Amino acid sequence: MPHTKTQARIGLVILILVSLIAVPLATGILAPSTAAYAQIDFTPNVSTLVVTPTPQGATIGPLIRHAGDRFQCVGLGGVIGGTECRPELVAIHGDDLFGWGEIVGYPGLMLAWITDETGTHFLVVSADDPQLTGVAGGDSFMELMELRLAEVDGTNKRVPEVVGSAAGPVVIIGGLLLLCPETAGVTCVIAGLTAAAAGVGNIIRNAILNSQAQDRIKELEQGLIGRFHQMELTIVNP
């Protein structure tokens, strides 16, 4: 029996040593990614643009072949604002709400889209339009999209990290329950509490980062809407 207890104690010591590495890893404390997201400091200067609502009577439907064509989809029941009529693109950079892509069969034409309270708006833009690809100050549509995608990607990574941060302490305390000798109970409880505190701390950290990211995403989307309307004004009413 003493031999068994000695083995159990050795096992416990090893487990605690492993926990010292595993807890920070499992809870993402050592991960550089989320810290990097927090360092993005971006203030779009598109807010000063004159934003005019899209005039009514825009082309509706997929028959778009020229820079300046703009349209909204008309779904079943006459519902305007979906993405069903979006023409086929070589690749989609973005999602259903905001994005751009080269139109298949039209190498010089890009399709850009934004979503506001009236639905999703599409605009055909020349591939070399500086407002689409790059402007002084770095607030082109593509650049704003890249920043938005990075923020959305960072937010997507936070869900697994929070789930992992919650699972980590449960698994560690479960392991302690399996291996911990009764005589080392207090030590094991302290180790378990440490793991739980690390997990809770990381969940709170992710919540703060997530809140900041949501604010930045909203800010970037406002910038995208502003840039989109300015492209409309420049191309359609030069």
Site residues for other proteins per CB under 8 A: 26, 152, 155-164, 166-167, 169-171, 173-174, 176-178, 180, 182-186, 188-189, 192-193, 196, 199-200, 203, 206-207, 210, 214, 217
How far CA 78 is from CA of 14, 74, 135, in Å, comes to 66, 6, 38
DSSP helix/strand/coil, 63: coil
Nearer to other proteins, 56 or 156 (CB): 156
Nearer to other proteins among residue 73 and residue 213 (C-beta): 213
State the nearest-atom distance from the C-beta of 85 to other proteins, in Å: 24
Residue 21 burial by CB count (10 A; 0-12/13-18/19+): exposed, middle or buried?
exposed
Query: Which element (helix H / strand E) includes 221?
Result: helix 185-236
User: Cα dist. 111→85, 147, 192 in Å?
Assistant: 12, 19, 54
Query: Which residue number, 161 or 219, has a Cβ lying nearer to other proteins?
Result: 161
Q: Which is nearer to other proteins, 2 or 78 (CB)?
A: 2
Q: Which of 138, 123, 148 is nearest to 230 (CA)?
A: 123
User: Among residues 63 and 193, whose Cβ is nearest to other proteins?
Assistant: 193
Tokens 């409309």 found at: 232
Is the CB of 144 or the CB of 235 nearer to other proteins? 144
Judged by DSSP in three states, 181 sits in: coil
Q: In this structure, what is the dihedral angle of CA atoms 198, 200, 202, 203, given to the nearest 10 degrees?
A: 160
What minimum distance in Å lies between the beta carbon of 56 and other proteins? Answer: 32
Q: How far is the CB of 136 from other proteins (least distance, A)?
A: 31
Strands, E assignment, the chain: 70-71, 73-74, 80-82, 93-94, 99-102, 109-116, 119-126
Q: How far is the CB of 24 from other proteins (least distance, A)?
A: 13
Least separation in angstroms between CB 115 and other proteins: 14
Structure tokens at 53: 């609502």
